[in-house]
Chain A
Amino acid sequence: MKSDNIVTFKNIHKSYLLGEHEIKALQGINFCVKKESFTFIVGKSGSGKSTLLNLIGAIDTPTKGSIMINNTSIDELNDDELSDFRASNIGHIFQNFNLMPVLNVYENIEYPLLMINQPKEQREAKVNEIIKAVGLDGLEKHIPSELSGGQRQRVAIARALVNEPALVLADEPTANLDSVTSAEILSLMTKMQKEYKTTFLFVTHDADIMHMADEIFVLKDGKLTRGEEDVK
């Protein structure tokens, strides 16, 4: 039975042990994210946003609770299965772009397709298409250190979307960009989200961009509330 939700959290807890001290980063989160939505997660620093996003991205595991992503219960997967799951279901956009410095623009974007063993011709078509879509034509052969911050984030967006994942996660993707570039990147992301009909989950501090969201979740001390009114 397929649900309309791409992410389903059931009573998720995540705590860290710092010496003898237990830090409860997430305390009983229950929530769902709708398919093909542009969803924001906001909250103060230290409220647990990154922790939550890492769990959704299947790069971290909860202390307690169960997680369902794209109709797969990821609690039961072993490490290799989790890796394969990430390769075909999830795209990551990082605050620091995290591009491979030894690969050029084209190769960075191509990488996720190599991971899922897509044939060369399809790969080429795909990469070239998305390079155009994010407006990087002509920069294919450049390596990341030769690009501006905004250009790098475009590469990162293209890389996150190229294998058409069901879910794209972005942890403060505009934090390292100036306001003009941030606005460009944001509008690119909304455009791409519509074009690729994918779900965007977006962690941010920025109150100015709340109007762009289909839905907003607010984290406070590891607990979730819904609605714009809680932000401030």
Chain B
Amino acid sequence: MLNSIKIAFRNTLRNKRRTLLSVFAIAIGAFASLLIGSFVASVNQGIQTQVARSSGHLQIHKKGYFDFGVGSVGEYGIEKYDEIISKIKSDEVGNYINVITPTLTISGIAGNYAKESSQTFVGLGFVASEQLEMQKWDGYNLNMPSTDMILKAYKNGGLIGQGLAKNLSFCKELNIKECKEKKAKINTNPIDNDIAGFAIEEETSSVPTVSLLVASAKGAPNIINLPLEKVWSQQNKEMDDRFIAMPLKTAQMLLYGKGEKRVNTINIQLKSPDDIALVSQKLEQFFSLNHLDLEVIKLDEFNPQINKVVGMFTVIFAFVSVVIGLIVIFTISNTMTMSIMERFNEIGTLRSMGLRRAGVRTYFLLEGSIIGIFGATFGVFLSLLTTTIINNVGLMWTPPSVAEPTKLVFNLLGNPSLIFGIWLFLIVVSVLSSLLPAVRASRMKIVDALKYD
């Protein structure tokens, strides 16, 4: 075998130009697939990171909430959620968990009465310190900037979506740039205008406050005035137009008044994104063991957008891979056919000295794999070099379904399985493309092969 490798290797060096061309073809194939592949991986991981930071990897709900809860939030509250959380933490499954934090989603009407504007809102009650901890997650080592800043300075007030803030005319108070304030209603009388003007003056001098009206779990209306701290833009416009975040206690007060406090979601952020399925399964077991009427929803279920975006990029990646595979097949089989044709006489000679058909095949398959190994390896290094340069130059782009431009990242080093996969794929393709010419060469009649010169 060692001898065969030696011979195959020397044979690849015979027509250096042709061999180099094939090596380059494979290298460029590796380069293109690795760049696209690592880009897709980075987009995927970037979106996953964003979702994991804001909502965690898993969400625990009362059974049925995920499917039917939107209309009747009050019905699906998780009782004694504090106990459940501390039980999960001390359970074996707790080892996989980075942050576990409760949230309560409420809805109602938000108003800025000074400006006579009101709007339906979706409120998120959260535990700020734990949300801040979630924002630090970087399980894919992307060094993505987070919304840290907002939560770091956060005290106890409300954070409002930019769209909602505009709708409620909080532009000036919250320093929103490029903000067209809604025109005041035309049919208001002069006296009202005077009063409104007076009110504005008062508002600007103090903290902007939004009034929230919510129907409590028992059906009674609850109202509070929530001082606003900052704008917290949401990626999804529909969400941004209705979003207000507030302390969990505030949301609970609005929904439950003086009754028992509940939440409707327990968010779980894992240490590693690889454990989603495992932990979800363990939690299900935990629930049935403890007779809890709860269910676990995975990240791709509560954020189906992920699958769409990733699916699109995966299709592009697959398409490019197929094209590259075809080019490699064509190049290698062409190279091998040519070099076999030039060596009919040698094949005949070796066979007449007693080399079996399999031996002839081995030589050419080895040549194909040598070209494949060199090309793929070269391509890997080329891609590593290029991605490192691009990552350090710091180009910006705006990924789909994301509000702000982010750094263009090719996370190639962080995806060794992608590198190895493409590397192996191209070598296998090279060997397979040499197979047909090699088999033909081995089946030649010896006397015919010897006639060539």
Contact = CB atoms under 8 A, between A and B. Distances in A.
Name the residue in A54, A102, A111, A116 with the highest tally of chain B Cβ atoms < 10 Å from its Cβ: A102
Contacts of B349: 92, 94, 98, 100
Interface in B1-50: 3, 7, 10-11, 13-14
Contacts of B351: 59, 83
Interface in B343-383: 345-346, 348-358
Given A101-B14, A102-B11, A102-B14, A96 B453 contact: yes
A83 B356 contact: yes
B447 interface: yes
Contacts of B445: 60
A88 B354 contact: yes
Of the four ranges (under 10, 10 to 19, 20 to 34, 35 or more), the interface on chain A belongs to: 20 to 34
A80 B352 contact: no
B4 to A, nearest CB: 9
A160 B135 CA distance: 77
Contacts of B10: 102-103
Interface string A87-117: 1101010101010111100000001101110
B353 A54 contact: no
Name the residue in B346, B353, B357, B453 with the highest tally of chain A Cβ atoms < 10 Å from its Cβ: B353
B446 interface: yes
Contacts of B14: 101-102
A79 interface: yes
A13 to B, nearest CB: 16
Nearest to B345: A98
Contact of A59 (B345, B357, B446): B446
B357 to A, nearest CB: 6
B446 A102 contact: no
Nearest to B360: A83
Contacts of B450: 59, 94, 98
A86 interface: yes
Contacts of B358: 80
Given A59-B446, A101-B14, A115 B353 contact: yes
Interface string B430-446: 00000000000000011
Given A60-B447, A96-B453, A102-B11, A112 B3 contact: no
Interface string A54-67: 10010110000000
B7 A79 contact: no
Given A102-B10, A114-B3, A80 B447 contact: no
A38 B14 CA distance: 39
Nearest to A57: B352
A79 B351 CA distance: 10
A164 to B, nearest CB: 14
A4 interface: no
Given A54-B447, A100-B346, A86 B353 contact: yes
A106 to B, nearest CB: 12
A182 B453 CA distance: 22
Given A101-B14, A102-B14, A115 B355 contact: yes
A92 B350 CA distance: 10
Interface in A151-207: 159
Nearest to B343: A101
A47 B332 CA distance: 43
A100 B354 contact: no
A59 to B, nearest CB: 4
A96 B348 CA distance: 13
A80 B13 CA distance: 30
A87 B353 contact: yes
Given A79-B356, A98-B450, A115-B355, 18 more contacts: A54-B447, A79-B357, A80-B357, A83-B351, A83-B355, A83-B357, A84-B354, A87-B355, A90-B354, A96-B453, A98-B348, A98-B349, A102-B7, A102-B11, A111-B353, A112-B353, A114-B3, A159-B353
Closest 6 A/B residue pairs (Cβ) = A87-B354, A102-B10, A59-B446, A98-B349, A86-B354, A83-B356
25 contacts: A59-B348, A59-B351, A59-B447, A79-B356, A80-B358, A83-B354, A83-B355, A83-B357, A84-B354, A86-B352, A86-B353, A88-B354, A92-B352, A92-B353, A94-B450, A96-B345, A98-B348, A100-B350, A101-B346, A102-B11, A102-B14, A111-B353, A112-B354, A115-B353, A116-B354
